Chains A and B, each alone.
Chain A
Amino acid sequence: EAGVAQSPRYKIIEKRQSVAFWCNPISGHATLYWYQQILGQGPKLLIQFQNNGVVDDSQLPKDRFSAERLKGVDSTLKIQPAKLEDSAVYLCASSLGASLTTDTQYFGPGTRLTVL
């Protein structure tokens, strides 16, 4: 079974530029998550999708971050414009369903973003 795919793996941009990350979840997984992990910290949930609907985006900085999952499969996370503090690893994860007591959440390899 293929895992969660993410691209690119690394990205370096200058502040105020835009950047987009792509995620392809495990086949059949209805729930998709985007996390931000700053160096030395645990992952922080940015947004959660159930199929193509948003379940939770309470910690997404909506003035600069946006995400979509138009067909309920792949997802894109965008930052526009980027700030220095956005330097982090962006992790995508997916699970079969919405209940983490029954459905394991699997993480992709992440995209390491450096904002200069």
Chain B
Amino acid sequence: QKEVEQNSGPLSVPEGAIASLNCTYSDRGSQSFFWYRQYSGKSPELIMSIYSNGDKEDGRFTAQLNKASQYVSLLIRDSQPSDSATYLCADTKAAGNKLTFGGGTRVLVKP
């Protein structure tokens, strides 16, 4: 079992719709969770971090964490073609700050 799992996609959403991305993790000791965006041929960039159960909103992005169910999700509201990218979920374990990434979900926003 992979430590951090994501559906590889592609997730196709129409412009203006909500894109919903899910990520599950296997280690109950995972403490912190991150969402990175990676455009094709570019390096990852941090868009959201979440540490506590519940929702965290930042602009059009909302991260949701449920530690009991061991999943973290990312909602992108009012999706734009510029949101088309691969979204990487990552966690860190209790003991340190090493990021473990999932394989990423490719999102395609169609005009």
Binding site for B on A (CB under 8 A): 40-45, 48, 55-56, 91, 98-101, 104-105, 107-110
What secondary structure prevails in chain A residues at the interface with B? loop
Chain A to chain B: the 6 pairs with minimum beta-carbon distance, closest first: A42-B101, A107-B43, A100-B97, A42-B103, A43-B101, A42-B88
CA distance A56 to B101 in the complex (A): 16
CB < 8 Å: which of B45, B49, B96, B102 contacts A56?
Answer: B96
Is A45 in contact with B43, judged by CB distance below 8 angstroms?
Answer: no
Q: Is the CB of A100 within 8 A of B43?
A: no
Binding site for A on B (CB under 8 A): 4, 8, 31-32, 34, 42-46, 49, 51, 88, 90, 92, 96-104
A1 nearest CB across to chain B (Å)? 15
Contact in complex: B44, A44 (CB < 8 Å): no
Which single member of B49, B97, B101 contacts A98 (CB below 8 Å)? B97
How far in angstroms is the closest Cβ of chain A from B98? 6
What is the CB-to-nearest-CB distance from A44 to chain B, in angstroms, rounded to a whole number? 7
Q: Which residue of A lies closest to B43 (CB)?
A: A107
Question: A46 CA to B8 CA in the complex, in Å?
Answer: 23
Contact A104–B46 (Cβ < 8 Å):
yes
Q: Taking the nearest CB of chain A, how far is it from the CB of B47, in angstroms?
A: 11
Q: Are B103 and A40 in contact (CB under 8 A)?
A: yes
Q: A40-B8, A42-B103, A100-B92 are in contact. Are A56 and B98 (CB under 8 A)?
A: yes
B102 touches A101 (CB 8 A): no
Which chain B residue has the least Cβ–Cβ distance from A99? B97
A–B pairs, 7, beta carbons within 8 Å: A42-B88, A43-B44, A56-B98, A91-B43, A91-B44, A107-B44, A109-B42
Report whether B46 and A105 are in contact in the complex, using a CB–CB cutoff of 8 Å: yes
**Chain B: minimal CB distance from A68 (Å):** 19
Is there an interface contact between B98 and A110, defined as CB atoms closer than 8 Å?
A: no
Question: Whose C-beta in chain B lies nearest to the C-beta of A6?
Answer: B43
- Chain B residues near A44 (CB-CB < 8 A): 101
Q: How far is the CA of A104 from the CA of B104 in the complex (A)?
A: 19
Query: Are A45's CB and B99's CB within 8 A?
Result: yes
Kindly state the separation between the CA atoms of A109 and B49 in the bound complex, as whole angstroms: 22
Contact of A110 among B31, B43, B90, B92 (CB under 8 A): B43
